[in-house]
């Protein structure tokens, strides 16, 4: 039975369209023009227990609006949704005790208090026994390597440390469903990797169902097998990440490393129709080619027959390029 079921979920906003200039402001006092914007437009999907799903889309696509409706913060204009068999916007107490929402750009911890005191306050709100609280906080802070930061004021924590504490706060009551809105935004490489490993661990050990929005596609490749792509309020793709690559990738690429600078003039020998060398650095070059017109084996043969190389690497088209193409076209071919 699905943990999350969404059927034709729609959310529209009515926005005032002001005419330019002072005269436009005066006219607006007596006769206002409004336009209706679809933030989410008849979205439908199902998520099974224990899935970790990536929710992708450009800015303004409707990702955060969808999460807020599923968390009960917004009422939909039309459509239906069930999470853990509850209707989210009815805000049933039984539901609120079984999910958590983490917004990467908003804080739930008290800014001037040590992180531990904010966590203790959350534990009181959820009625968590002290013994369970201590064990949960101990386990989670160890996993995220922030145990020594518990008594530091939240305002004095780094962005990465604060994000980790936000995750701990959201998981104190051991929710069955976790909604994450850009949890790695602005973090350094080490902090991102720690949070990714943490999410994989709780998903594996606790069976927590996770719906994750992010603009960092390396998050998706690290964490999710299934992705949902949304744009202009409607779903463009819902399926397996590997299948998406196989179905929608148009190009392959070969990165090769020249033996020395004397090989550079010889690059022209392998540049033919549809094959051009792109310089990465002094001795590193990249060839991106249409997989229907050229084979990887053929391109590699041309490289090794005409150039002396130290190494080469065959890669699929990066997921960033595939997703960017979907965003720009607004459709899935």
Residue 16's alpha-carbon distances to 33, 40, 45, 282, in angstroms, are 6, 19, 32, 54
The CATH class of the 50-73+85-246 domain is alpha beta
Please state the domain extents for the chain.
50-73+85-246, 251-316
pTM: 0.79
Q: Given its phi and psi angles, is residue 182 left (phi above 0), alpha (psi -120 to 50 degrees) or beta? A: left
Centroid of chain to Cα 86: 25
CB-based contacts of 174, cutoff 8 Å, min separation 6:
136, 206
pLDDT of residue 330: 66
Strands across the sheet containing 34-47: 34-47, 4-16, 78-83
Q: Average pLDDT of each block of 10 consecutive residues along the chain (333 residues)?
A: 94 78 67 79 94 89 92 94 95 92 80 90 90 91 89 89 90 93 83 88 91 85 89 88 79 88 85 78 86 83 88 81 76 60
Backbone phi, psi, residue 106, to 5°? -135, 145
The per-residue pLDDT for 89 is 95
pLDDT the model gives residue 28: 64
Looking at residue 22, what is its pLDDT? 65
Task: Say if CB 171 and CB 207 are below 8 A apart.
Answer: no
The pLDDT value recorded for residue 48 is 95
Q: What is the CATH number of domain 251-316?
A: 3.30.70
Give CA–CA dist 203/182, Å, rounded.
Answer: 17
């Amino acid at each position: 039975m699905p943990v999350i079921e969404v059927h034709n979920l729609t959310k529209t906003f009515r926005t005032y369209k002001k005419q330019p200039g002072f005269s436009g402001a005066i006219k607006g006092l007596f006769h206002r023009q409004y336009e209706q914007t679809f933030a989410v437009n008849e979205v439908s999907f199902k998520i099974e227990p224990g899935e970790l799903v990536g929710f992708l889309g450009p800015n303004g696509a409707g990702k955060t609006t969808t999460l807020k409706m599923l968390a009960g913060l917004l009422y939909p204009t039309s459509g239906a949704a069930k999470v853990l068999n509850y209707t989210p916007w009815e805000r049933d107490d039984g539901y609120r005790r079984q999910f958590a929402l983490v917004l990467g750009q908003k804080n739930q911890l008290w800014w001037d208090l040590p992180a531990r005191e904010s966590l203790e306050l959350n534990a009181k709100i959820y009625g968590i026994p002290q013994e369970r609280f201590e064990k949960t906080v101990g386990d989670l802070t160890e996993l995220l390597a922030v145990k020594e930061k518990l008594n530091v004021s939240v305002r004095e924590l780094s962005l990465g440390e604060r994000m980790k504490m936000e995750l701990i706060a959201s998981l104190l009551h051991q929710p069955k469903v976790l909604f994450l809105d850009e949890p790695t935004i602005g973090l350094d490489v080490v902090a991102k990797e720690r949070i990714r490993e943490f999410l994989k661990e709780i998903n594996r050990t606790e069976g927590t169902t996770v719906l994750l929005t992010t603009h960092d596609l390396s998050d998706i490749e690290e964490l999710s097998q299934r992705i949902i792509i949304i744009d202009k309020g409607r779903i463009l793709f819902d399926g397996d990440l590997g299948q998406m690559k196989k179905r929608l990738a148009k190009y392959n690429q070969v990165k090769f490393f020249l033996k020395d600078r004397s090989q550079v003039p010889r690059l022209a020998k392998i540049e033919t129709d549809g094959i051009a060398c792109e310089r990465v650095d002094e001795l590193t070059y990249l060839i991106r080619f249409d997989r229907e017109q050229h084979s990887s084996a053929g391109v590699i043969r041309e490289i090794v027959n005409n150039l002396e190389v130290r190494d080469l690497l065959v890669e699929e088209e990066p997921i960033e390029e595939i997703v960017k193409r979907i965003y720009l076209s607004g459709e899935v071919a």
